[in-house]
Amino acid sequence: MSQRHIIQVFEQYQKARMQFVQSVADLTARPQNVEILQNAGVMSMLRPLMLDVVPSIQQTAALALGRLADHSDDLAEAVVKEDILPQLVNSLASQNRFYKKAAAFVLRAVAKHSPELSQAVVACGGVEALVLCLEEFDPGVKEAAAWALGFIARHNASLSQSVVDAGAVPLLVLCLREPEMALKRIAASTLSDISKHTPELAHTVVDTGAIAQLAEMTLNPDAKLKRQVFSALSQISKHSVSLAEMVIEAEIFPAAVACLRDPDEYVRKNVTTLMREVVKHTPELSQVIVNCGGMAAVIDYLGDCHGSLRLPGIIMLGYVAAHSESLAMAVILSKGVPQLALCLSEEPEHHIKAASAWSIGQIGRHTPEHARAVATANLLPKLLQLYMDASSSEDLQLKSKTALKSVLQKCTHLPALEPLLYDAPSNILKHVVCQFSKVLPHDSKARRLFVTSGGLKKVQEIEAEPGSPLQEYINAINSCFPEEIVRYYSPGYSEVLLERLENYQPA
């Protein structure tokens, strides 16, 4: 056999390998092909090709494996069981940038499915290898590595700590300074995933100067970057007062408030989420957001969005109102109550209704003036309806009941209370009757109206156990009126009158 013929054989073999691996990579791009390929044992065929002498064959084999692992957790587990991960990690250091991107993709595709699969990546030294990739010159390699690290970190605090321990955080912060927009986005996203689990992890991110870098990008024109930046700042702020104060001290506000008018709905949602995480800690932090116009802007935002996008704004108003009478009044004066009433009536999702009910309760629970703002928005019957509706979720029923009781205990606006006399169950009714017993002794106009509207008659019809608080409240109400009027409106009195009429003998 001639040398030329031998060379041709080798060329044909190389061409066949390339053609095979490229065809498999193309087929894995379509989800409907994946199961067929797996049943044909494609993973076992791809594994040796990852050690091929031809770099392009190695890269394409890695790409195909990444697509398979990305498809389902079963296939990701198969990659782990085939012992492919150690092979990938060991070859990362010596290969070119194209292979490194493909290998990082495989690690990401495996890690994304579960903490257990992420742990398999950690166990084979994958995190350390990915951190080394963050030091590469090529921005595409850095991006692929940052993305994979984010998928590992997002599962739990332990995995996130393994990313921190490998030295990823300072390098991710450096990635925020790179000119490539995609790299900035992924770095911010990964810092968000690291920060979210514990105060200690968030402090690790903050200690590398991340807040200042993130703050610089809050007004960047790129919407996808801003989404990730505000998400990261939210995850940092949520853990403690000190972390929230560090975010405030970076002078993100009031400039961030302008982003509530951003065309991108997720930028708006993440800004609102950041405000929610800041205001929940203290009245002072709430006041900072109120003073810079953040609360009024969030109330406007609630009118422009629907569904889950509303949720952080709804909860934010509740947090602000919960802190003090003055902050709750600021929510009222900014027209927060009508906006929450809309959310309560418009939103079909029970968890959003429950959040709205909770926030309404936080506003109305302070003083009679606060309760009146809730009552005059006709929210008391709505809260009662949601509490009594058997189709309401358990959480919605509980939050509606709690809000209703807390507002009722402060409400002295009797016209809003009276309809509840007819509809409320006994556990709510006692709070309604209690408020009448407090107000009627001191208000002659209210007493007259209570009689003419039928309220006094309704109170006489209530069946209360002798000696119960409800009976005591009824007695207190009755003592506000002449005995003959109370008797006149008592059940059965008309029959007594008719009986007297029948027995009456004219002179």
User: pTM (2 decimals)?
Assistant: 0.83
Do 407 and 454 lie in a common domain? no
Taking 90 as the threshold, does the pLDDT of residue 339 lie above it? yes
Q: Does residue 233 lie in a domain region?
A: no
Do 137 and 35 lie in a common domain? yes
| Per-residue tokens: 413 | 């606006």
Do 430 and 365 lie in a common domain? no
Residue 426, Cα to own-chain centre: how many angstroms?
Answer: 35
pLDDT at 434: 86
Q: Does residue 123 lie in a domain region?
A: yes
Give the span between the Cα atoms of 244 and 261, in whole angstroms.
23
- The CATH number covering residue 19 comes to 1.25.10.10
**Considering the chain, what percentage of its residues have pLDDT values greater than 90?**
45
Average pLDDT estimate for 162-178: 94
CA nearest neighbour of 134 among 161, 169, 91: 169
pLDDT at 219: 83
Do 481 and 385 lie in a common domain? no
Q: Letter for the amino acid at 127?
A: V
* H or E stretch at 350: helix 350-364
- pLDDT tens track for 410-448: 988 888 888 887 878 888 888 888 888 888 888 888 888
Q: Where does the pLDDT of residue 174 fall: very low under 50, low under 70, confident under 90, or very high at 90 and above?
A: very high
Average pLDDT estimate for 352-374: 94
Do 428 and 466 lie in a common domain? yes
pLDDT at 467: 81
Q: What average pLDDT does the structure give for the chain?
A: 85
Alpha helices in 365-425 (DSSP H): 368-375, 379-388, 394-408, 414-417, 420-423
pLDDT at 131: 92
The answer to whether 320 and 299 are in contact (CB under 8 A) is: no
pLDDT at 382: 92
Per-residue DSSP letter, 363: H
Domain containing residue 462: 419-501
Neighbours of 277 (CB within 10 A): 24
pLDDT at 7: 66
Do 273 and 383 lie in a common domain? yes
- pLDDT tens track for 39-94: 666 666 777 667 666 777 777 777 777 777 777 777 778 777 877 788 778 777 76
Q: Domain count of the chain?
A: 3
Average pLDDT estimate for 159-179: 94
Do 20 and 160 lie in a common domain? yes
Q: Where does the pLDDT of residue 495 fall: very low under 50, low under 70, confident under 90, or very high at 90 and above?
A: low
- pLDDT tens track for 281-326: 999 999 999 998 889 999 999 988 888 999 999 999 999 999 999 9
pLDDT at 506: 65
Which range has the worst mean pLDDT, 161-170, 194-203, 286-295, 422-431?
Answer: 422-431
- pLDDT tens track for 396-410: 999 999 999 999 889
Do 29 and 158 lie in a common domain? yes
Which range has the worst mean pLDDT, 187-191, 255-259, 308-312, 440-444?
Answer: 440-444
Average pLDDT estimate for 2-17: 67
pLDDT at 439: 84
Do 259 and 333 lie in a common domain? yes
pLDDT at 99: 79
Q: Does residue 132 lie in a domain region?
A: yes
Q: Does residue 257 lie in a domain region?
A: yes
CA nearest neighbour of 175 among 250, 127, 225: 225
Please give the residue that has the higher pLDDT: either 462 or 137.
137
The answer to whether 462 and 474 are in contact (CB under 8 A) is: yes
Q: Does residue 8 lie in a domain region?
A: no
CA nearest neighbour of 359 among 348, 370, 369: 370
Do 160 and 96 lie in a common domain? yes
pLDDT at 116: 92
Q: Does residue 348 lie in a domain region?
A: yes
Q: Residue 77, CB half-sphere, CA atoms under 13 Å: how many?
A: 6
From 132, 150, 166, give the residue that closes a domain: 166
Do 400 and 457 lie in a common domain? no
pLDDT at 104: 86
Do 291 and 336 lie in a common domain? yes
* Residue with the two structure tokens 């402060």: 410
**Considering the chain, what percentage of its residues have pLDDT values greater than 70?**
89
Q: Where does the pLDDT of residue 33 fall: very low under 50, low under 70, confident under 90, or very high at 90 and above?
A: low
